[in-house]
């Protein structure tokens, strides 16, 4: 409740600030046309959001840089999502938006010195924060927006991505590239985070430590989520583990969790001996991503791990509420099956173990017994 009240106050203050200062904001140009990438050098992307938002943005950076290697790409990102792109070779530099006014004013001054030719606001709604960052990070740059409605008039180009065609957020976000005259039909969509060699070695050490106990592969179960309503009941998770161990007798289960759920992951693994392990302690995001890339399948609530796994084309059984907009936009990419939807809009508690097991078997059929 306290977080909700704080968020409401924050949004109210931003709307009030926007009302007072909107007269000073620059309107979009009416004669935008299409940007010729050959005539520009620097593109700044505004993405100061959650981890998953940055993961689904990777195909945009990859395809733009692949088509036009001379371009220098920059981001304004957040402390929550910078790990996804810190080692990305497509990005020349990242600038952190921290919500600390002194830090952020200094950051904007550094960004302005770049002299970006184009600023792309990737926040898919009428965000006051992203609007002001877009306006002041590079005065005079052409401004591209995504999903803007009330703020549409402040952008030179806007793609309405919240359409009724049920397209995935990855496909819709890629259509920003049409502003650069780039057709997206053949664009690469499975673009994983750049995994540094240290993380690959960490994953290899962990998988080797399983002592050959997983000839059928590793099945991941993620027990953490950003909201309590997305955390499946512990009793059902235990039932799921027992069922998966029986259905996939040659597989090993690895439990992943946020650091604050580490003790719970360890306790969950204890009853099953060598067939169930928690992810090793102290790992960073890219270490975990490297382990996920080696999995046979991942079972997880609606979190950023859905998109990390799918970027490696690892099958995902995703647990979702019935809230349609969220599911349609953020379901596991490129899968016709695998999403398990609750019977209500508010939590995933009523999803049954049978539903999850059936989705897993459909995605990754078990080996036939000789």
Whether the predicted pLDDT of 20 surpasses 60: no
Please choose, from the candidates 284, 52, 345, 5, the residue with its C-alpha nearest in 3D space to the C-alpha of residue 173: 52
pLDDT in tens, 136-187: 999 889 999 988 888 889 999 988 765 556 789 999 899 899 999 999 999 9
pLDDT in tens, 298-324: 999 999 999 999 999 999 999 999 886
pLDDT in tens, 88-112: 999 999 999 999 999 999 999 999 9
User: Do the domains 197-363 and 24-180 match in fold?
Assistant: yes
Q: What is the pLDDT of residue 17?
A: 52
| pTM as predicted | 0.91
Packed helices 197-208 and 285-292: angle between N→C axes, nearest 10 degrees: 60
What is the band of 367 on the pLDDT scale with cuts at 50, 70, 90?
Answer: confident
Q: Which structure tokens are listed for 283?
A: 């790992």
pLDDT in tens, 198-254: 999 999 999 999 876 678 999 999 999 989 999 999 999 999 999 999 999 999 999
CATH number of 197-363: 3.40.50.2000
DSSP string covering 275-338, please? GEEEPPTT--HHHHHHHHTT-SEEEEESSHHHHHHHHTT--EEEEE-S-HHHHHHHSPTT-SS-
Packed helices 304-311 and 285-292: angle between N→C axes, nearest 10 degrees: 50
Packed helices 262-269 and 234-247: angle between N→C axes, nearest 10 degrees: 40
Place of tokens 């990859």: 62
CB 329 within 8 A of CB 238: no
Among the ranges given (163-177, 226-240, 264-278, 325-339), the one the predictor scored with the smallest mean pLDDT: 163-177
CATH homologous superfamily, domain 24-180:
Glycogen Phosphorylase B; (3.40.50.2000)
Helix (H, G, I), strand (E, B) or coil at 203: helix
**CA atoms within 13 A of residue 23's CA, in its CB half-sphere:** 1
Q: Domain limits of the chain?
A: 24-180, 197-363
Alpha-carbon gap, residue 44 to 305, rounded angstroms? 26
């Amino acid at each position: 409740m306290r977080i909700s009240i704080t968020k409401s106050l924050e949004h109210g203050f931003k709307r009030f600030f926007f009302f007072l200062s909107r007269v000073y904001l620059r309107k979009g140009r009416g004669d935008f046309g299409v940007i010729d990438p050959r005539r520009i050098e620097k593109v700044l992307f505004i993405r100061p959001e959650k981890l998953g938002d940055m993961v689904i943005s990777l195909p945009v950076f990859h395809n733009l840089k692949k088509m036009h290697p001379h371009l220098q790409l920059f981001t304004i990102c957040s402390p929550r999502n910078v790990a996804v792109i810190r080692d990305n070779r497509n990005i020349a530099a990242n600038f952190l938006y921290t919500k600390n006014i002194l830090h952020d004013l200094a950051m904007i001054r550094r960004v302005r010195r770049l002299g970006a030719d184009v600023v792309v606001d990737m926040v898919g709604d009428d965000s006051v924060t992203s609007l002001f960052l877009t306006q002041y990070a590079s005065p005079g740059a052409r401004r591209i927006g995504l999903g803007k409605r009330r703020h549409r008039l402040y952008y030179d180009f806007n793609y309405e991505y919240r359409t009724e065609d049920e397209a995935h957020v990855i496909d819709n976000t890629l259509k920003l590239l049409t502003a650069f005259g780039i057709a997206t039909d053949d664009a690469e969509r499975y673009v994983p985070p750049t995994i540094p060699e240290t993380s690959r070695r960490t994953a290899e050490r962990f998988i080797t430590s399983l002592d050959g106990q997983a000839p059928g592969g590793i099945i991941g179960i993620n027990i953490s989520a950003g909201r309590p309503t997305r955390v499946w009941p512990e009793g059902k998770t235990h039932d799921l583990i027992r069922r998966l161990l029986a259905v996939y007798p040659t597989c090993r289960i690895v439990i992943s969790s946020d650091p604050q759920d580490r003790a719970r992951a360890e306790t969950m693994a204890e009853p099953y001996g060598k067939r169930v392990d928690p992810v090793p302690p102290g790992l960073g995001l890219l270490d975990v991503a490297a382990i996920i890339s080696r999995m046979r399948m991942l079972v997880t609530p609606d979190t950023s791990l859905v998109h990390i796994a799918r970027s490696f084309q690892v099958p995902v059984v995703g647990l979702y509420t019935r809230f349609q907009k969220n599911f349609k936009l953020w379901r596991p990419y490129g899968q016709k099956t695998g999403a398990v939807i609750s019977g209500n809009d508010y939590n995933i508690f009523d999803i049954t173990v049978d539903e999850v097991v059936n989705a897993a078997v459909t995605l990754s059929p078990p080996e036939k017994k000789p």
